[in-house]
Amino acid sequence: MKYQELIQQAEAQIEQHGGDKKMPWIGLMEEFVAVVKKTEKKAKKEKDKSNNPERTIETMFRVTATNSQRLSDQADSKANIMISVNTVLIPALFFLQNLENSAKLAVPIVILLAVNLLTIVFAILATRPQIPKGVFNQKDLDAKKADLLFFGNFYKMSFNEYSEGMFRIMGDRQFLHTTLLLDIYNQGIVLGRKYRMLTFSYNVFMFGLILAVLAFFIVLNPNFLH
């Protein structure tokens, strides 16, 4: 017997014997049917919610924004590590220069110093902010290309101009989605630049450190090449 047919028969029994006090099991059946209907209603509501494209779109934007922020924080943290490590190494190099055999170590010290400086420069470039002009115009709004979710595009505008643009975005669903996509795209551009500079920093440090160690080894072991 199918599930729905069983429920229908139970409802028929309740309707037929609902007022009969000699059949106490009718009350239990009523409670059972009520629980089943409540469960079905809740399941249907959850299904409708899961099939709602708007909810899926909101989740997509939220997850993407969270991932972008997490990756940006990781890039900043890695850049700070490179800056800190190489900043500590520079005084150590000047200490080596003051040793008695500093002339002998001049070449590897210069190599390592150049590596440290280049590594720091690229790490700073990875974290250095780039602020746009801070204004948007009516043409950008008409073309639906104004990203008002980023402060760099409106910090020089008046509140009335900014709020007017935001209300226009919020009043147009397609414009709203376009703005969210544009904001995510711009975040991706910034992330790409950050990780590119960070990669340069790591590569310079890694290969430069290898070169400096080889230079130290050759200087301290002059017979190695003979």
In the structure, how many helices (H) and strands (E) does the chain have? 7, 0
155 assigned to some structural domain: yes
Does residue 38 share a domain with residue 80? no
Q: Which two tokens stand for residue 87?
A: 């900043």
pLDDT for residue 80? 95
Mean pLDDT across 48-67: 79
Helix (H, G, I), strand (E, B) or coil at 2: coil
Does residue 112 share a domain with residue 7? no
CA quadruple 151, 155, 158, 161: dihedral positive or negative?
A: negative
Flag whether the pTM goes above 0.85. Answer: no
Cα separation, 163 vs 40, in Å, equals 44
Average pLDDT, the chain: 80
Give residue 139's identity as a one-letter amino acid code. Answer: K
Confidence of residue 2 (pLDDT cuts 50, 70, 90): very low
180 assigned to some structural domain: yes
pLDDT at 178 over 70: yes
Mean pLDDT across 163-180: 89
> Which has more pLDDT, 188 or 28?
188
Structurally, how many domains does the chain consist of? 2
64 assigned to some structural domain: no
Does residue 117 share a domain with residue 34? no
pLDDT at 121 over 70: yes
Does residue 81 share a domain with residue 34? no
Confidence of residue 21 (pLDDT cuts 50, 70, 90): very low
Q: Which residues span the domain enclosing 90? A: 76-225
Does residue 44 share a domain with residue 95? no
pLDDT at 22 over 50: no
Q: Scanning the structure block, which residue is given the tokens 């080596």? A: 96
Among residues of the chain, what percentage have pLDDT more than 90? 33
Q: Nearest 5°: CA angle at 201, between 198 and 204? A: 150
pLDDT at 223 over 50: yes
pLDDT at 197 over 80: yes
pLDDT at 32 over 60: no
68 assigned to some structural domain: no
Nearest to 222 by CA among 104, 68, 121: 104
CA dist 46 → 5, 34, 41 (Å): 24, 18, 9
pLDDT at 77 over 70: yes
59 assigned to some structural domain: no
Helix (H, G, I), strand (E, B) or coil at 147: coil
Does residue 104 share a domain with residue 190? yes
Largest CA distance in the chain: 112
Per-residue pLDDT tens over the stretch 34-53: 666 666 666 666 665 556 66
pLDDT at 30 over 70: no
55 assigned to some structural domain: no
Q: Scanning the structure block, which residue is given the tokens 């960070």? A: 198
